[in-house]
Amino acid sequence: MSRNPKFQQHIHVFRAIAIILIVSAHSIPSLDWSESPLLGRFLDGIANEASIFFFFIAGYLFQHLSERFSYQSYLLQKFKTVILPYLIISIPSLYLFTMVVERTNMWPWFYELHTWQQVSLFLLTGKHLAPLWFVPTITLFYLAAPVFIYIDRKIPRVYWLILPLWILAIYNGRNGPIGPIEKALYLLPVYLLGMVTSSYRDQAEELIKKFWIPLLVVSLLGFAGYTLDYKEPPYFLMVMKLPMALLMVIALLKVYPVFGDRLNYIAEISFGIFFIHAYFISFVKVVATYFVDGRAYDGEDAYLIEGTLLNLSIYVVIVLIASVGSIWVCKRVLGRRSRFVVGA
């Protein structure tokens, strides 16, 4: 078992790339791809479900930093830097979707519930703001942390279950009636893969280097299946992104010096960007609707910007600049306490 205490700069860069892809994935549906559907699908295949990379990184860093693990301290830290910001960031959307307008794609009985019940279900599922499903899901991993520690230290043969769990995820998908639990099962092999890659880092890196061609072939097959819109299951993004996570580790080990410190700040505040970027995506929709169509945004028919690589790049850059700028201001005003508000 490899236990390298050094800072993992390539994983730090990976985290920055992952959050940029996540912002891109959530921006793509805001553009009109009707004139170039294949390009839209191609770009969506690259960016969509980049949360798989986030979970791989989470598992990797969990194991890497687990030497002095204390469950009580761990949960307290996660409450302060993940759960508390989640609750605070959720306030505007909770108010909007319980007091002002109805959220689309909710259960047909949802708005027959009392307001406090609606709020509770929103928080338990993350459905009030599209990216926030991540928090209820990863909270299940936080709660199960002692189990993961026990697996890593006492019964590492459990890591052999990654392959069958991956196959199960490929055919079951991540969406279903029990929300975070199904998403957690879907992402479990990814998290475990991150852990085992860290735990046996030297051996893992050698194996990835040895088998990079088969890993790349599997990843490209998944990408092709998704881009060409083949019938699912299998869920092609999981086919693509799990082996791609391994390939990214090796690739970034070689090329991360090229990035230097350029992505460090984005990596450091990646959780904060994850929390707030959806608000800025909505803000851009409001502004675009007003200036392009001369009307107020009503939550529908906002696909007024032509879907091109250039327009998507501009859209993502605007959202990233707004998110990073807001977090920078928050950190300047609140100092270290900003972590309890925006998670960064």
Examine residue 43 and state whether it is found in any structural domain, yes or no: yes
Best CA proximity match to 87, nearest among 79, 97, 77: 79
Helix, strand counts (H, E) of the chain: 17, 0
Give residue 49's domain range.
9-342
pLDDT of residue 1: 44
Q: Which two tokens stand for residue 203?
A: 């051996």
Contact at 8 Å (CB) between 132 and 86? yes
pLDDT of residue 304: 73
End-to-end CA distance of the chain: 32
Q: What residue type is assigned to position 158 of the chain?
A: V
pLDDT of residue 303: 63
What is the Cα–Cα distance from 42 to 227, expressed in whole angstroms? 5
Helices marked H in 112-179 — which ranges?
A: 115-125, 134-143, 145-153, 162-172
pLDDT of residue 238: 96
Domain count, the chain: 1
pLDDT of residue 301: 52
Examine residue 291 and state whether it is found in any structural domain, yes or no: yes
In this prediction the pTM is 0.91
Strand residue runs (E) in the chain? none
pLDDT of residue 63: 95
Distance of CA 73 to the CA centre of its chain: 24
What is the Cα–Cα distance from 263 to 114, expressed in whole angstroms? 44
pLDDT of residue 3: 43
Examine residue 312 and state whether it is found in any structural domain, yes or no: yes
Examine residue 298 and state whether it is found in any structural domain, yes or no: yes
What is the Cα–Cα distance from 138 to 131, expressed in whole angstroms? 12
Best CA proximity match to 99, nearest among 91, 88, 109: 91
- The dihedrals phi and psi of 156, each to the nearest 5 degrees, come to -65, -15
pLDDT of residue 119: 93
Examine residue 155 and state whether it is found in any structural domain, yes or no: yes
Distance of CA 174 to the CA centre of its chain: 13
pLDDT of residue 2: 44
Contact at 8 Å (CB) between 343 and 81? yes
What angle, 0 to 180 degrees and rounded to 10, lies between the N-to-C axes of helices 71-78 and 145-153?
130
Examine residue 315 and state whether it is found in any structural domain, yes or no: yes
Q: Residue 231: left if φ>0, alpha if ψ -120 to 50, beta else—which one?
A: beta
- Residue 230, C-beta contacts closer than 8 angstroms, at least 6 positions apart: 236
pLDDT of residue 232: 86
Examine residue 4 and state whether it is found in any structural domain, yes or no: no
Q: What residue type is assigned to position 8 of the chain?
A: Q
What is the Cα–Cα distance from 268 to 309, expressed in whole angstroms? 27
pLDDT in 10s for each residue of the chain, 344 residues: 444 456 788 898 999 999 999 999 999 998 989 899 999 999 999 999 999 999 999 999 999 999 889 999 999 999 999 999 999 999 999 998 998 888 877 888 989 889 999 999 999 998 888 888 999 999 999 999 999 999 999 999 999 999 999 999 999 888 876 689 999 999 999 999 999 999 999 999 999 999 999 999 999 999 999 999 998 889 999 999 999 999 999 999 888 777 777 888 999 999 899 999 989 998 888 887 777 666 656 555 556 788 999 999 999 999 999 999 999 999 999 888 888 888 87
Examine residue 197 and state whether it is found in any structural domain, yes or no: yes
Q: What residue type is assigned to position 326 of the chain?
A: S
